[in-house]
């Protein structure tokens, strides 16, 4: 199975080969998990999203026409699952807030132990990405890291294409503010001086 391409494996999986689908999962797992982690921000949540992604992929494999690579198709499913997951989580937090009247941080919780393991992902940029609100982060990750088309992003997040573009614009601005605070302060200072 090692030497067989993903395209061939996809064909075999569509014909009902369990082995082929398992091999697809093995080969794409790291990428799918990384994207899920970038979108939801904690290892536990990312694992749930990955589980859901492969279940959806398995159920929908017959509908995969092969006009994109299976990895791209899996990214779309991951984005969709992560979006649903985050929406449910936020809704649940709102419910808790209403019921218990506690002040809860709506930012996605971080997992410091796992974060330390992710060698290479830890950088100023990663930290800045994590500070973005989930709605903005999702669009920046999908567009600027995974090069997903605006139309695809809009479809998976169930928003309009123009809303996706607005979120991307705000997300990029916010990232720059976080990474280059002096530059932003100088700009604001000169604006006040005028």
**Least distance to another protein from the beta carbon of 133, Å?**
16
Asked if 30 is part of the footprint of another protein (rule: CB under 8 A), the reply reads yes
**Least distance to another protein from the beta carbon of 77, Å?**
14
Of 1, 11, 17, 87, the residue at the interface with another protein (CB under 8 A) is 17
Interaction residues for another protein, span 149-168 (CB under 8 A): 168
Q: Which stretch binds another protein (CB under 8 A): 2-10, 14-22, 65-73, 154-162?
A: 14-22
Interaction residues for another protein, span 54-83 (CB under 8 A): 54-55, 58-59, 61-62
Contact (CB, 8 A) for 70 and 4:
no
Asked if 121 is part of the footprint of another protein (rule: CB under 8 A), the reply reads yes
Give the side-chain half-sphere CA count within 13 A for 60: 14
Between 58 and 93, CB nearer to another protein: 58
Between 134 and 168, CB nearer to another protein: 168
Total residues in contact with another protein, by rule CB under 8 A: 49
Encode the chain in three state secondary structure: CCCCCHHHHHHHHHCCCHHHHHHHHHHHHHHHHHHHHHHHCCHHHHHHHHHHHHHHHHHHHHHCCCCCCHHHHHHHHHHHHHHHHHHHHHHHHHHHHHHHCCCCCCCCCCCHHHHHHCCCCCCHHHHHHHHCCHHHHHHHHHHHHCCCCHHHHHHHHCCCHHHHHHHHHHHHHHHHHHHCHHHHHHHHHHHHHC
Binding residues (CB under 8 A) for another protein: these are 13-18, 21-22, 25-26, 29-31, 33-34, 37, 43, 47, 50-51, 54-55, 58-59, 61-62, 117-121, 123, 125-126, 140, 144-147, 168-169, 172-173, 175-176, 179-180, 183, 187
């Amino acid at each position: 199975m090692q030497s067989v391409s993903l395209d061939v494996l996809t064909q075999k999986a569509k014909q009902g080969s369990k082995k082929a689908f398992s091999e697809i999962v093995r080969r794409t797992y790291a990428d799918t998990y990384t994207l899920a982690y970038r979108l939801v921000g904690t290892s536990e949540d990312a694992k749930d999203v990955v589980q859901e992604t492969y279940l959806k992929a398995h159920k929908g494999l017959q509908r995969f026409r092969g006009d994109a690579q299976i990895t791209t198709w899996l990214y779309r499913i991951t984005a969709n699952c992560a979006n649903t997951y985050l929406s449910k989580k936020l809704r649940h937090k709102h419910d808790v807030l209403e019921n218990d009247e506690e002040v809860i941080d709506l930012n996605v919780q971080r997992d410091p132990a796992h974060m330390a393991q992710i060698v290479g992902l830890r950088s100023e940029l990663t930290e800045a990405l994590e500070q973005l609100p989930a709605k903005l982060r999702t669009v920046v990750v999908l567009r600027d890291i995974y090069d997903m088309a605006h139309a695809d992003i809009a479809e998976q997040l169930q928003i309009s294409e123009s809303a996706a573009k607005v979120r991307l614009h705000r997300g990029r601005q916010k990232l720059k503010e976080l990474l280059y605070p002096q530059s932003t302060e100088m700009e604001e200072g000169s604006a006040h001086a005028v």
